[in-house]
A and B are shown apart, each in its own frame.
Chain A
Amino acid sequence: MIEVPMGELQAVDNRDVLTASGVGSCLVITFYDQQRNCGALAHALISRRSSGGAVQKRRARYVEDAIEESIKSLAAFGSTPRDLVAKLAGGANMFPALGPDIGAENVSAAKEALNRAGVAIVGESTGGNIGRSVEFQTDSGVVTIKIKF
């Protein structure tokens, strides 16, 4: 198993299991290519870089970058966006009274970016005020979500 921390992504073609633990407002995007049995998991923090905002030091910190970089990484295995299917997990709002719904913004940004890239979304467990842990079997595309409450 490979744990993918916040702001990072991992692409593999060796049937590894990719995981992300305790996901709240962050968004996990999994990509699976059934033909090539490869996949990627990106663990993004926020939707997009604000103007004049931070310089990116992690390639999957922003949802849009995470999707772009995941597609690029899987291209190294021969995958094109049309070969990929995506699943989304996370995007919760743990403290609804605390301000903007970062989770919902993440989900919305991911759907837009995936649509632009031509990657179909085939599964989603997003929103609410619950944390999730994600386990992605890259040999089958199966994504398992663990919820604690």
Chain B
Amino acid sequence: MQIPEKLKDINRDAAEQASLALSKLTGTAVQVQIERAEIERQETVCPPALSEELVVGVCLPVTGDAKGTALLAIAQETAFQLCDVMMRRPPHTTRLLTPLDESALKEAGNILVGNYLSVMADRLEMKTVEGLPYLATGMLGSLLSQIVAKTVITASETLLVNVEFLVASAHFKGVMILVFMAEQMEAIFRALENV
């Protein structure tokens, strides 16, 4: 499916807002870039080559006009580096996530996902509400499959917006996946074309 051109505006605005919020959280200048947004079929979102990658995932249930789940996944090593920055530790210190680290990662996920959803909802005149973030570590495929399975129950096809974030100062990369019920995703695309 073609990505609506207007999605780029949402990406830019969401990145700006997330940059400000993350800079406040970490006390250091953070630049978020959304490198790309793609729509993918739910069952092919995770290529086999990546499905075994060990990641830290922050998952947020989404309710309101668009019901679904958002997942921010970052490689475990990247999560350690991000914790070093957020906790103001020397680089390469974190080797195990403490409850405080987990809390910080959940907050970072909340900020990134929350800003994206907030900007998207504003642009599309929708209302979305994010639930509490949950954190898990595991293979990327294993985290994604549970998110996808939740929507398969009621939707035959669900589309995913796949977004990469690059925090320029230290080049942290992650992927954000938004899974919505099919009919609501279609409504989002219709709305995007009418923005």
Chain A interface (Cβ < 8 Å from any Cβ of B): 3, 5-7, 19, 21-26, 45-46, 50, 53-58, 61, 92-95, 97-99, 102-103, 129-133, 146, 148-149
Specify which chain A residues have a CB less than 8 angstroms from the CB of B44 in the assembled complex.
5
Other than A24-B141, A24-B143, give 5 A-B pairs with Cβ distance below 8 A: A22-B140, A24-B146, A26-B145, A46-B152, A99-B61
Stretch among B51-59, B110-118, B162-170, B186-194 lining the A interface: B51-59
| Contact (Cβ within 8 A) A97 B139 | no
Closest to A55 in B: B156
Specify which chain B residues have a CB less than 8 angstroms from the CB of A94 in the assembled complex.
57, 136, 138, 142-143, 146
The contact sample of 28 A-B pairs, CB cut-off 8 A, is A5-B48, A6-B145, A21-B48, A21-B52, A22-B139, A22-B141, A22-B144, A23-B145, A25-B145, A25-B146, A45-B145, A46-B149, A53-B154, A54-B154, A92-B142, A92-B146, A93-B146, A94-B57, A95-B134, A99-B61, A102-B146, A102-B149, A103-B146, A130-B142, A131-B141, A133-B139, A148-B52, A149-B137
Of B138, B148, B150, the residue contacting A99 (CB under 8 A) is B150
Specify which chain B residues have a CB less than 8 angstroms from the CB of A132 in the assembled complex.
139, 142
Answer whether residue B46 sits at the interface, using C-beta atoms and an 8 A cutoff. Answer: yes
Specify which chain B residues have a CB less than 8 angstroms from the CB of A129 in the assembled complex.
136, 138
B189 → chain A closest CB, angstroms: 19
| Contact (Cβ within 8 A) B145 A54 | no
| Contact (Cβ within 8 A) B136 A6 | no
Answer whether residue B38 sits at the interface, using C-beta atoms and an 8 A cutoff. Answer: no
Of B57, B134, B137, B140, the residue contacting A97 (CB under 8 A) is B134
Answer whether residue B43 sits at the interface, using C-beta atoms and an 8 A cutoff. Answer: yes
Task: Give CA–CA (A98, B148) in the complex, Å.
Answer: 13
Q: How large is the interface on B (under 10, 10 to 19, 20 to 34, 35 or more residues)?
A: 20 to 34
Answer whether residue B157 sits at the interface, using C-beta atoms and an 8 A cutoff. Answer: yes
Specify which chain B residues have a CB less than 8 angstroms from the CB of A57 in the assembled complex.
156-157
Task: Give CA–CA (A128, B149) in the complex, Å.
Answer: 17
Answer whether residue B87 sits at the interface, using C-beta atoms and an 8 A cutoff. Answer: no
| Contact (Cβ within 8 A) A22 B153 | no
Answer whether residue B155 sits at the interface, using C-beta atoms and an 8 A cutoff. Answer: yes
Task: Give CA–CA (A3, B149) in the complex, Å.
Answer: 19
Specify which chain A residues have a CB less than 8 angstroms from the CB of B154 in the assembled complex.
50, 53-54
